[in-house]
Amino acid sequence: MKQGRLIAVVGPSGVGKDSVMGGLHEAMPRLHLVRRVITRAPALGGEDYDAVSVPQFEDLVENGAFAVHWSAHGLHYGIPITVKYQLGKGTDCLANFSRKALAEAAETFQNFVVLNISATPQTLAHRLAARGRETEEDIAQRLAQADKPLPAGLNVIHLANDGPLSQTVARGVALLQPARV
């Protein structure tokens, strides 16, 4: 059986990763949405995630619970090792990722693709302010990080998300499922 693809969704804060991922899953129901483990308080909006404390996260790392894990913006994030089961069944999996974890993930996963979502700085600033999770200083820091380059040598699909979500999702589906000739 063919190994499924791990599709690592990356992009700056406020680019709409969770919305695009939800739209892609709705349009492509066979995609498995990976639920991350995060050291963030529960139910803060955005993605569906498992909230844990820092000591719990450290125990999970020590016990091999993650295929990949990283720290960013003062939080710890983990992709559960169970994703390898889905990939082994031939299921494509969609996971919200950090650019800093891509090189490790490319070594960890046999069939690895990066879906790089972008938007203009104006769009990002508006979305970050609207979600109300960050201070103005946090927003400025996140915008300063917005155009950090991706590691070289990755299989990257680029997707702009400045217009209507439905159009972004339609383009994403077309890019992830190119026509077979």
Residue ranges per domain, the chain? Answer: 6-176
Cβ–Cβ < 8 Å for 20, 9: yes
The C-alpha atoms of residue 130 and residue 20 are separated, in whole angstroms, by 17
* pLDDT at site 14: 84
Residue 104 is predicted with a pLDDT of 94
Beta bridge partners of 160: 118
pLDDT at 180: 47
pLDDT at residue number 67: 97
Give yes or no for a contact between 152 and 13, defined as CB atoms under 8 angstroms apart. Answer: no
Residue 74 confidence (pLDDT) = 86
CB 105, CB 30: distance < 8 Å: no
The SS3 call for residue 10 is: strand
What span, in angstroms and rounded, lies between the C-alpha atoms of 66 and 141?
28
Sign of the C-alpha dihedral computed for residues 159, 40, 146 and 127 taken in this order: positive
CATH number, span 6-176: 3.40.50.300
Q: List per-block mean pLDDT (blocks of 10 residues) for the chain, which spans 181 residues.
A: 92 90 95 94 76 95 97 92 96 94 95 94 86 80 82 94 95 82 40
pLDDT of residue 181: 40
